[in-house]
Amino acid sequence: MSNKIGVYICHCGNNISEYVDVERVKESVKNEEGVFIARTTMFACADSAQTEIIDDIKNNALDGIVIASCSPKLHLQTFREVAKRAGLNPYNYVQVNIREQGSWAHSNDPEGATEKSIGLVKAGIARTRVSKSLEPLTIPAKNIVLIIGAGIAGMRAAIELAEMGTKVYIIEREHFVGGRLSQWGVLCSLNETGKELISRIYKRLKELDNITLFTGADLISKTGSSGNFEVEIKITPRYVKSKCDPESLKNAIEACPVEVTDEFNFHLTKRKAIFKNFESEFPEAPVINMEDCTRCGDCLKHCDSIDLDQKTEIIKLKIGAIQVCTGFDPYEPKEGEFGYKTIDNVITLQQFKRLVELNKDQLLFKGKEIHNIALIYCVGSRQFGKINGSNQYCSRYCCTVAIHSSLVVGKKYNDIHCLHFTRGVRTYGKQELIYDEASQKGDIFFHFDENTPPTIEKSGSKTIVKVNDVYTDQIELGVEADLVVLVSGMVPRKNNSSVEILKTPVGRDGFLNEIHPKLRPVETVIDGVFISGAAQGPKNIEETVNSTLSAASKVNAMICREEIKLEPTIAKINEDTCEWCGKCSETCPFEAISQITHNGKQIASIITTNCKGCGICTPVCPVDAIDVIGYTNVEIENMIMSLAK
């Protein structure tokens, strides 16, 4: 119970005070029961204001505080730390949101915004009067991490965590590491290829004894909670032993009668059922794709390292945290979208990059020499209800990669001309230099708007790209192109089973969702599960690495002490009232309620490590046997009664 409460009403610059009369709010609440101090402050979150609040708590022995400011999503932890530094239990602090719920919501009605804010603050005071001191829950934690995905993000995270003393398991669905990066040649802003970068990182990863890598591995189940997860991993065999004579293997691959289109080269070429994408790929052993293999046995005649009888394994791991680095897929246009799959010389950006890697001295496509290349931007990005009706976000990396690719082509081959059809070039930061270089080189940039995208037409043997160019006052221009490249954006990984298993939230764009993009950018609402890299949204290499190192540091900070402190605001069962009906368990999205026997009867029990205190179980209980600590019926009823007055 709090009998001496300090109330602080924030101007938030003029975000609140422009529409809410903060002085009137203060005058209206200063005589409420339990209020000892009522003040206004320009910025409650400022260091000077925090110091003032700490001094008030210490000098006046305050046993509760109410801060009326912005959303608790922003500064709940800030003011809890203020309370702790002053010696006040942080759960005797209540934050009232009068910015988003008052000022901003009712900017057209200052009088109404002020009256609503007065009611909200009074309700906060009423809750604080009956609040109780709480202590965090402490549970043991394993200093072991599971990283899902062995691309640039996953491998960098593994190295960082291993170097900080954490044991790391890293699983990769494919049989080779590197993710998308291994498919690219010379990288933007770097003087090395994707293969070289992956080789360097993989070499460092293998030098660390506390990293275990599983390829051909999928997460199939997860139980437990933050600090103490148990996961099951399904490992599909390679069907080829790691030590293999290169010449024998070469003969085995040549003998294989099966040919399918090669996913690594985005179906531009073909591969055998037994394959390795390139010589320096890691791990170094090839793999047999059993979906393609006919088990004819021809390969066995040439290489005794092949074992078609290898079996799928299921292994169990006990871990403390999970970092998801599952990356992205390139957007693949619909059939007919900008002529894709209907005009034979229309390809995607990812196919174009592989085409450049596959052609050493002369750029050829389907046997034809290429001289004029038309690049159409924002395919699969920024499409507001137009072609595919989705992917409204900007994929961020495409402009830079497309322009960089045109520079690579210009340096590698002679007599190549690149024509860029854009909706505005977004080569931000230092990448602007790439745009300038392409312009100086002689690349031509056209500009189309959202409502009039370019059209691609086939006229005999010629492919014509037409555009209403903004730069020439919407004059329709037509250019002949030997090759049309659709600059496609990023989309979330297809068939990402870990999302369903981990219950990681997904945003409207389909990518994994963090708690807050600025304050908690790599954490999810699932305690112990972190996200990073392009799994949570389009990013370039530098942004991906920054994101994954941020997540790795968060993971290490959580489990390195081998114990975790959890929020005490969790559900609580009234054991005398509860008569097990199972409705609460069915409703709980976090599997935090189990059935137990207590004093000879079946009742519900809260699994404290799983419970998030969301309160979704409380309204479904027919006998009102569930309360949420910190948001009890008494506290909520006090707030309602205050508002009713």
Are 344 and 462 contained in the same domain? yes
Q: In sequence order, what E strands does 276-381 have?
A: 287-288, 313-319, 321-324, 328-330, 346-348, 364-365, 368-369, 372-379
Considering its fold, how many domains does the chain have in total?
A: 5
211 DSSP β-pair partners: 168
User: What share of the chain in percent tops pLDDT 70?
Assistant: 99
DSSP-H helix ranges across 208-297: 246-255
- Closest by Cα among 330, 357, 354, 338 to 267: 354
Are 355 and 485 contained in the same domain? yes
* Model confidence, pTM: 0.86
Are 34 and 102 contained in the same domain? yes
Distances (CA, A) of 451 to 178, 323, 386, 425, 444: 38, 41, 8, 17, 22
DSSP-H helix ranges across 478-632: 497-502, 541-559, 583-587
54 within a domain of the structure (yes/no): yes
328 DSSP β-pair partners: 492
510 within a domain of the structure (yes/no): yes
Q: How confident is the model at residue 325 (pLDDT cuts 50, 70, 90)?
A: very high
Q: Report DSSP letters for 67-112, one per residue.
A: EEES-HHHHHHHHHHHHHHTT--GGGEEEEE-IIIIITTTTT-HHH
List the end-to-end C-alpha distance of the chain, in Å, as a whole number: 21
Mean pLDDT of the chain, nearest integer = 93
Residue range 238-258: mean pLDDT, rounded: 87
* CATH number, residue 580: 3.30.70.20
134 within a domain of the structure (yes/no): no
pLDDT at 225: 86
The answer to whether residues 443 and 485 touch, using CB atoms and an 8 Å cutoff, is no
213 within a domain of the structure (yes/no): yes
424 within a domain of the structure (yes/no): yes
pLDDT at 96: 97
Task: Indicate if the alpha-carbon torsion angle 205, 206, 210, 212 is positive or negative.
Answer: positive
Are 161 and 214 contained in the same domain? yes
Residue 594's CB is within 10 A of a number of other CB atoms, namely 12
* Whole-number Å distance between alpha carbons of 329 and 496: 11
The answer to whether residues 171 and 217 touch, using CB atoms and an 8 Å cutoff, is yes
Per-residue pLDDT tens over the stretch 366-406:
999 999 999 999 998 988 664 445 688 999 999 999 999 99
* Whole-number Å distance between alpha carbons of 189 and 429: 11
Q: Of 440, 472, 491, which residue sits at a domain end?
A: 491
Q: How confident is the model at residue 439 (pLDDT cuts 50, 70, 90)?
A: very high
pLDDT at 385: 60
pLDDT at 389: 53
Domain interval for residue 553? 144-236+312-327+496-559
* Whole-number Å distance between alpha carbons of 104 and 123: 19
580 within a domain of the structure (yes/no): yes
pLDDT at 184: 92
Are 155 and 192 contained in the same domain? yes
Are 393 and 282 contained in the same domain? no
For 1, residues 6+ apart whose C-beta sits below 8 A from its C-beta are 129, 130, 131, 132
Residue 423 structure tokens: 């909706």
Per-residue pLDDT tens over the stretch 160-195:
999 999 999 999 999 999 999 999 999 987 889 999
* CATH number, residue 33: 3.40.50
The answer to whether residues 202 and 244 touch, using CB atoms and an 8 Å cutoff, is no
Are 366 and 418 contained in the same domain? yes
Q: Residue 232: pLDDT above 70? A: yes
Are 114 and 41 contained in the same domain? yes
Per-residue pLDDT tens over the stretch 562-606:
999 888 999 999 999 999 999 999 999 888 999 999 999 999 999
Measure the CA dihedral 119/120/121/122, to 10°.
50
Are 349 and 465 contained in the same domain? yes
Q: Which residue has the higher pLDDT, 142 or 450?
A: 142
Residue 216's CB is within 10 A of a number of other CB atoms, namely 20
* Whole-number Å distance between alpha carbons of 314 and 233: 6
428 within a domain of the structure (yes/no): yes
Q: Of 474, 491, 508, which residue sits at a domain end?
A: 491
Are 477 and 354 contained in the same domain? yes
* CATH number, residue 178: 3.50.50.60
Provide the angle, in degrees to the nearest 10, between the axes of the packed helices 72-85 and 47-60: 50
Per-residue pLDDT tens over the stretch 457-493:
998 889 999 999 999 988 999 999 999 999 999 999 9
Q: Residue 144: pLDDT above 70? A: yes
By DSSP bridging, strand 372-379 and strand 417-422 are parallel
Q: Residue 331: pLDDT above 90? A: yes
Per-residue pLDDT tens over the stretch 602-630:
999 999 888 989 999 999 999 999 999 99
* Whole-number Å distance between alpha carbons of 498 and 148: 8
pLDDT at 1: 66
E strand or H helix at 603, and its extent?
strand 601-606
The residue count of the chain comes to 645
Are 193 and 322 contained in the same domain? yes
371 DSSP β-pair partners: none
List of long-range contacts for 591-599, beta carbons under 8 Å, 24+ apart: 593/617, 599/575
Residue range 36-42: mean pLDDT, rounded: 97
277 within a domain of the structure (yes/no): yes
Are 608 and 469 contained in the same domain? no
Q: Of 73, 104, 129, which residue sits at a domain end?
A: 129
Per-residue pLDDT tens over the stretch 84-136:
999 999 999 999 999 999 999 999 999 999 999 999 999 999 999 999 999 99
